[in-house]
Structure formats: structure tokens, C-alpha cells
Amino acid sequence: MTNKNDIALAEKRLGDQFWRLNNLYYVINKQGYKVRFELNWAQQQLYNDLYYLNLVLKARQLGITTFISLLFLDVALFNSNVSCGIIADTEENAKYIFRKIKFAYDCLPDSLKSIREARIDSAKELTFSNNSLIRVGTSLRSATFQYLLISEFGKIAAEDVKRANEILTGSLNTLAEGSYCFIESTARGRSGAFYDMCIEAKKLQDAGKKLSKMDYKFHFMPWHREPAYKLGSYTHISEDLQNYFLHLLSQGIILTDEQKYWYAAKLAHQGENMKREFPSSAAEAWETSNEGLYYGRQITEARLEKRIGSVPYDETALVYTAWDLGISDSTAIWFVQLCGKEIHLIEYYENSGEALTHYLKYINDRPYSYGTHLCPHDILNRELSSGLSRQSTARKLGVSLIAVPRLEIQTGIDAVRNILNRCWFDEKKCEKGIKCLESYKKQWDDKNGCWHTSPLHDWSSHGSDAFRALAVGLPMITGKKSQVDLERGKLESQRDPSGLLPGHFLYMPETRQSNNINIRRNTNF
């Protein structure tokens, strides 16, 4: 017979969420066995540090999605009128998460299920008799939740910018103040909404600022804290890897031999993606895999060699600019100084929806002494509206834009690769430009499962195209060989609005005519 003490104890336990989370739910573990769920270290860390808005950057397979899903189940079961939403990266993962929640519910004691009956309203929605619900999908627009999980948001933001924005503007904006939100993911390179949000949240954390309810709390879970990530048998550790472990040691990350063997063995399979999938530190999680990227390796090298940092303006040297002039999209401008063999990128400017005059004013307003302004060849094309080329328009306004030679895109990309090892970037003033170079990638051919040879046109193209103008045009400002091109460029810039170069007989219409007559005469002979 149950005595009063037992009932009191059961009530006390059931009233304690931490007890419930460690005793009430069941999952299928990685080995495929049904086990009672108990919080592992990563789950415990997240639970202890829980805030209203949470950003979780993590190594793979630490149980983060499972934990947040079960937390939502618990919240829904033990609180009335609560709505929990889970957004997954793919349909398949949405189904997987839903099954996980349904499984945990089905394994609850019958006595509990009888007072919290569940109804499956659709393939992805569980509603309880206390009017609380959990909905799982790939986008949950127009619904209001008090608890929201966005799973693998880094992947969503990297692969589908439009969808990421929809999630941010749709689902996130419906959260009332004081709601709980978890955005969790492994990293996907140094760009995209997940990266931006994490960097912002980490900055707040590092500054020790008190967070408002609108701020995100940053959580990081590295691989080396996971006890399962170790290997008992010896694995060869290359010299590079030994140096990497020494580097970790200098950061206070002490690894056992078994952890080193595990890392070496895992690295052999993961290759370039290792730091993304199993980061040792939050900073290294953003190091991109160079797969499909044009300049990924070169920018990583620049970071490692500390060529991305503070690069101040040298008042004694000229500033050159390199442009990509957008007609219907962004215009990008790099500001460059040449210091011996070094190429200093001191500033990057990008904007859209503005006329050429805006950009000319921008460069004129900077406190620089200018050398040449390098632009892609299309500045020579005449515009339908004015009949003038953009080069002529700029010259009228006192800026001489020089057209760099028109080359195959791949030749230009090679030219960029050739100069990147001499480049020093100002980290702050060139932040967006560096992101462009780092993210500039080939198009992915879904049908054939391989990379196209041509670049993907996206937000990273503008900064990268402007940098290509720099690489292709650089000999025009440095090399003797291209002095002729430079002269030709200067000459071109002297064309009058009708496109003629007055005083130069080759360009005079009458001369052309007489040349033609001569040719005809020659033919007649």
C-alpha cells in the first residue's frame, strides 16, 4: 500500500523539472538501445546556463537537439496553454525530431499519460489535454510560440539565405518578450545570419555585459569535453597535428593521449571539415572548409599569418581603388595602398541602389591622396539614358576611372590567387570585403553532384569582382610591362562626351573615312 510519504515524495519529484528531465523520459541512444534519459555534460551545461534567447555553437552529436526537444515536451506536459515550435533544417530531420518526442511521450508511465492525453493533430503536431502543444516543421510562420527551437540554423543560413531571413523575420519576430528561444547549430563558415548572431552574442559575453531579454546568450560546446570522444588504440599523429595540439595546449586545452588518438582518427575521415564539425574553440569553428571556395585557403593563410588585423592608412603613400560597378545590384570598392611588395587593403565600401555620383562623392570625401581608380571593362559601355559611358560621367565629375583589361573570369581568379599572399587586410574596415573573398564560391551542380567551373552569383560576388579588377589592373600601376595599357587607359579617359579624342587623328571621323577610302583604293588597285 502506498503511504502518505511516498505520495508526498512523488509529488515533490514531479514538481522538480531537473528530476523529471533525469528520470521521466526515454530515448534511443547512439547504440540503438532504449535508455532512460539523463542529462549528459553538454545538456547539463545548457540547462544550468539557460537564458531566454540562446545561441548554441557546438561540436557534432552532443545530444543538443534531443535535450531541447525533451525540455519542450516537459514544459508542454507540465504547463497549460504553452506552445512550443521546432524548426528543423530538412523535412527528414523534422520527422526525426517529432518521432523522438512522440517516443518519449509513449514511454511515459500510463498514470501520467492518462492525465495528459495526447492528440496527434497532423504528422508533426502533438496537442495535450492541458491545451499545450508541440509543433515541428521546416518553417513555422504565422504561429506564436513561447518556446522556439531552430535546429541547424547555420546550415540553413549558409544554404538558403531567403529561408533564413524568413525564419528570422517570421518565427523569431512572433516571440513575445520573456519567451524562450534556442538556435543551435554547428558552424558553417564566417558569414550568414548564424555567424553574425553568434559573433554579436560572443562580444556581449566577452565584455561581461548584463544581457537584456532581447539579447542572445552564447553557449559553446567543444568536442574535447565529450568523454566518448577518445580512442584506446594508438593512432599515428602527424607533425602538423602535434603542432596543432601544442597550439591548443598554449590556449589551456589539455588533451589526453586517448583524445589525441580519437582526434587523429576522426580527422582522417572528416578532412577539411574537422574544425567545423568538431571545433576545439569557438573561434576555430568558423574556419571554413575550402571545398568549392575560390580563395578559402588563401584567406585562411592570411589569418594564420596574422595578415588580417590593423592596417592603418599610410599618409605618405597613394591610395588606389578597385571597383565593381553594379547596375541593378551592389557596387563595391576596395581602397588599396602599395607598400614595397605588400598590398595593403585599408578599406572596403559596398552599397546598392545609389547612382555613380554617390560612390564618386564617397571616395572624394575620404581623406586619401589617390592614384589610379581601377574598374572592370564595362565602364566604357555607353548608357542608354545619357549616351555617355560611366567613365565619361565620372570624368565630368573629376574622377578618372581606368578600365582594366577584359580577361576570362578564371584568368582573373588566378590573378587574385597570385596576389593574395602579399595582401594585408584591415580587419575592421574591410570586414565585409574579407567575408566576400572568403565566401566566393563555385556554383553547385545538384544534378551531377559536383562543382561547376563558374562562380555562383550571390552577395559575395561584388567584393570579389572588385578584387579581381585590382588583381588584373595591378600591373597597370606597378609594372613597366603594362605602362602601355596605363597610357591607353589615360588616353581613353580623355574622350569627350561624344566618345571622341579631339586632336588625335586616329579617332577623328574624317580620318576614319579617309582610311576607308584608302583601303578601298588599295583594293581597287
Ligand X SMILES: Nc1ncnc2c1ncn2[C@@H]1O[C@H](COP(=O)(O)OP(=O)(O)OP(=O)(O)O)[C@@H](O)[C@H]1O
Per CB under 6 A, residues contacting ligand X are 27-30, 35, 37-40, 43, 60-66
Residue nearest to ligand X (CB): 63
Q: What span, in angstroms and rounded, lies between the C-alpha atoms of 320 and 336?
A: 5
Give the shortest CB-345-to-ligand X separation in angstroms. 36
Q: Which of 43, 54, 65, 69 binds Mg ion (CB under 5 A)?
A: 65
Using the minimum distance from each CB to ligand X, give the nearer residue, 37 or 359: 37
Residue nearest to Mg ion (CB): 65
Q: Which stretch of DSSP H or E encloses residue 366?
A: none
Q: What span, in angstroms and rounded, lies between the C-alpha atoms of 181 and 168?
A: 12
- Decide which of Mg ion, ligand X, none touches 393; Cβ closer than 5 to 8 Å per partner kind: none
Give the shortest CB-181-to-Mg ion separation in angstroms. 16
Using the minimum distance from each CB to Mg ion, give the nearer residue, 56 or 471: 56
By the 8 A CB rule, do 218 and 198 touch? yes
By the 8 A CB rule, do 276 and 289 touch? yes
By the 8 A CB rule, do 68 and 182 touch? yes
Using the minimum distance from each CB to ligand X, give the nearer residue, 185 or 330: 185
Q: What span, in angstroms and rounded, lies between the C-alpha atoms of 442 and 453?
A: 6
- Decide which of Mg ion, ligand X, none touches 30; Cβ closer than 5 to 8 Å per partner kind: ligand X
- Decide which of Mg ion, ligand X, none touches 40; Cβ closer than 5 to 8 Å per partner kind: ligand X
- Decide which of Mg ion, ligand X, none touches 148; Cβ closer than 5 to 8 Å per partner kind: none
Q: What span, in angstroms and rounded, lies between the C-alpha atoms of 86 and 64?
A: 13
Using the minimum distance from each CB to ligand X, give the nearer residue, 245 or 278: 278
Give the shortest CB-38-to-ligand X separation in angstroms. 6
Give the shortest CB-68-to-ligand X separation in angstroms. 8
Place of cell 492525465: 115
- Decide which of ligand X, Mg ion, none touches 60; Cβ closer than 5 to 8 Å per partner kind: ligand X
CA geometry: angle at 297 spanning 292 and 303, to 5°?
135
- In terms of C-beta distances under 8 Å and separation of at least 24 residues, what long-range contacts does 2-5 make, across chains too? none
Give the shortest CB-229-to-ligand X separation in angstroms. 12
Span near Mg ion by CB under 5 A; candidates 33-41, 49-57, 64-72, 473-481: 64-72
Give the shortest CB-152-to-Mg ion separation in angstroms. 6
Write the DSSP string, 432-477: HHHHHHHH-BEEEETTTTEEEEEEP-STHHHHHHHHHHHHHHHHHH
CA-wise closest residue to 439 among 415, 459, 409:
459
Using the minimum distance from each CB to Mg ion, give the nearer residue, 96 or 507: 96
Amino acid (1-letter code) at residue 15 = G
Using the minimum distance from each CB to Mg ion, give the nearer residue, 93 or 461: 93
Write the binding mask 290 to 309 for Mg ion: x where contact by CB under 5 A, - elsewhere. Answer: --------------------
Nine-digit cell at 299? 584567406
Give the shortest CB-43-to-ligand X separation in angstroms. 6
Burial environment of residue 2 by CB neighbours within 10 A (0 to 12, 13 to 18, 19 or more): exposed
Using the minimum distance from each CB to ligand X, give the nearer residue, 185 or 391: 185
Give the shortest CB-241-to-ligand X separation in angstroms. 23
Q: Give me the residues that bind Mg ion (CB under 5 A), please.
A: 65
